[in-house]
């Protein structure tokens, strides 16, 4: 008998120990909501953390302007809104705003705090419209109730733009109007034989449907050189080289033997130009990082200067009015002019390109 009781005591102790162990384990486990993944084929500019934290940041005020989305006038307001028991919630027929269907929801006793009972107000979007490019909708919300005394609308405006999607189709204010305030005769929210009027603003922020992608090719291209023969006999203001192709665009070198601008009469001026035969897309700009050189044909101690410039019009040029002084150019020791020939060069180190897209191209876009 004693042994059986002792065995029972040991068994019960083991069960209790086992129970406490699992309680301790589960107490440390953090339960996370089910994660959802977004399509990897999304258009750019959408890579941001979710703001679906539900926190309310409200501005509350009186205003003259009526609701812009929908309005509900309720007869027998005292019975339907302020007296228990009443309906748990009232949901309107669907109405259209911003190309989407919505409903307006009122819950007469939707929330209770230390201040008392509250009327709650919400809007819900029809999830059937949340497909394809419009799988997410951003909207700013305001909820309103009319005061006859002031002939204005008490307005609770959500300062956060809310994101509606398949897993969050409803947003609103659980503490829209406190029952004590709603029934107060000072504001006359209930007026004209027991009427009351509620409304909602919905301002849908349209999705962008056009965008552009600026990219840079950092390939260091082979230099393009140009030799000007019989240099001492050149008497034109400027000379332009044959065109050459780099980065899908046509370019040329341009030399002012006797200088241009501030370099006129004292320096050689040297430029790289975007050929007039180049076709740019509307609004396209090309960013260029390159080096311009006057070559030392004796010791390869070339005179080199960098350019960092945008080109947005065929015929545009970038370079230097005073690339090298005429006295330095003619100095035989520097090797710039040999056998009455001058060699200049440009080497492209980086070029940009811009692609323009619209929503029709979204399906062909790769992941950004």
Question: What is the per-residue pLDDT across 24-79, written as a single tens digit (0 to 9) for each?
Answer: 443 443 333 333 333 344 455 554 444 455 555 789 999 999 999 999 999 999 99
Q: What is the pLDDT of residue 209?
A: 80
Q: What is the pLDDT of residue 50?
A: 41
Q: What is the pLDDT of residue 114?
A: 92
Q: Cβ(267)–Cβ(321) under 8 Å?
A: yes
Q: Cβ(208)–Cβ(141) under 8 Å?
A: no
Average pLDDT over residues 222-242: 96
Cα separation, 327 vs 22, whole angstroms: 91
- Residue 350, both tokens: 């980086």
270 by DSSP, 3-state: which? strand
User: Which residue intervals of the chain bear CATH 2.60.210.10?
Assistant: 58-207, 213-358
Q: What is the pLDDT of residue 345?
A: 97
Bridge partners, residue 205, by sequence = 138
Residue 104's pLDDT band (cuts 50, 70, 90):
very high
Cα separation, 156 vs 189, whole angstroms: 15
Q: What is the pLDDT of residue 33?
A: 35
Cα separation, 236 vs 108, whole angstroms: 89
Task: From 243, 263, 216, 234, select the one nearest 346 (Cα to Cα).
Answer: 243
Q: Would you identify the CATH topology of the domain 58-207?
A: 2.60.210
Measured in whole angstroms, how far is the alpha carbon of residue 223 from the centre of its chain? 39
Q: What is this structure's pTM?
A: 0.63
- Concatenated DSSP letters of 201-259: EEEEEPPP-EEEEEEEE---PPPEEEEESSGGG--SS-EEPPPEEETTEEEEEEEETT-
Q: What is the pLDDT of residue 336?
A: 97
**Residue 322: pLDDT above 50?**
yes
Task: From 63, 57, 188, 199, select the one nearest 142 (Cα to Cα).
Answer: 199
Average pLDDT over residues 301-309: 96
Structure confidence by residue, pLDDT tens digits, 1-21? 333 433 343 444 444 444 444
Structure confidence by residue, pLDDT tens digits, 165-218? 999 999 999 999 999 999 999 889 999 999 999 999 999 998 778 889 999 998
Q: Cβ(176)–Cβ(60) under 8 Å?
A: no
Cα separation, 164 vs 168, whole angstroms: 6
Q: Chain-wide mean pLDDT for the chain?
A: 85
Q: Cβ(348)–Cβ(247) under 8 Å?
A: yes
Q: Would you identify the CATH topology of the domain 213-358?
A: 2.60.210
Cis preceding linkage at 116, omega within 30:
no
184 by DSSP, 3-state: which? coil
**Residue 80: pLDDT above 50?**
yes
């Amino acid at each position: 008998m004693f042994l059986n009781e002792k065995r029972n005591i040991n068994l019960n102790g083991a069960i209790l120990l086992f129970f406490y162990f699992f309680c301790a384990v589960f107490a440390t486990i953090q339960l996370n909501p089910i994660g959802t993944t977004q399509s990897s084929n999304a258009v750019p500019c959408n890579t941001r953390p979710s703001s679906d934290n539900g926190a309310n940041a409200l501005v509350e005020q009186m205003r003259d302007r009526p609701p812009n989305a929908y309005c509900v006038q309720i007869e027998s307001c005292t019975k339907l809104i302020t007296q228990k028991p009443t309906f748990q919630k009232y949901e309107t027929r669907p109405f259209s705003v911003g190309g989407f269907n919505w409903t307006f929801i009122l819950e007469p006793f939707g929330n209770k705090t230390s201040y008392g009972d509250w009327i709650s107000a919400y809007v819900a979007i029809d999830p059937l419209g949340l497909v394809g490019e419009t799988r997410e909708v951003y909207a700013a919300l305001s909820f309103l109730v009319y005061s006859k005394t002031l002939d204005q609308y008490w307005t609770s405006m959500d300062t956060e733009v809310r994101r509606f999607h398949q897993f969050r189709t409803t947003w609103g204010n659980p503490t829209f109007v406190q029952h004590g305030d709603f029934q107060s005769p000072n504001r006359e929210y209930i007026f004209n034989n027991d009427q009351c009027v509620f409304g909602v603003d919905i301002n849908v922020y349209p999705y962008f449907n056009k965008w552009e992608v600026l990219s840079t090719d950092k390939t260091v291209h082979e230099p393009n050189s140009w030799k000007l023969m019989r240099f001492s006999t050149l008497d034109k203001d400027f000379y332009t080289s044959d065109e050459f192709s780099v980065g899908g665009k046509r370019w040329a070198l341009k030399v002012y033997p006797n200088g241009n601008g501030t370099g006129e009469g004292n320096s050689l001026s040297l430029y790289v130009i975007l050929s007039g035969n180049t076709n740019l897309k509307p609004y396209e700009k090309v960013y260029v990082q390159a080096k311009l050189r006057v070559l030392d044909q004796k010791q390869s101690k070339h005179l080199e200067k960098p350019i960092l410039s945008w080109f947005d019009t065929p015929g545009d040029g970038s370079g230097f009015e005073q690339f090298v002084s005429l006295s330095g150019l003619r100095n035989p020791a520097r090797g710039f002019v040999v056998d009455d020939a001058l060699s200049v060069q440009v080497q492209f180190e980086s070029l940009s390109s811009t692609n323009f897209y619209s929503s029709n191209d979204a399906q062909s876009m790769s992941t950004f």
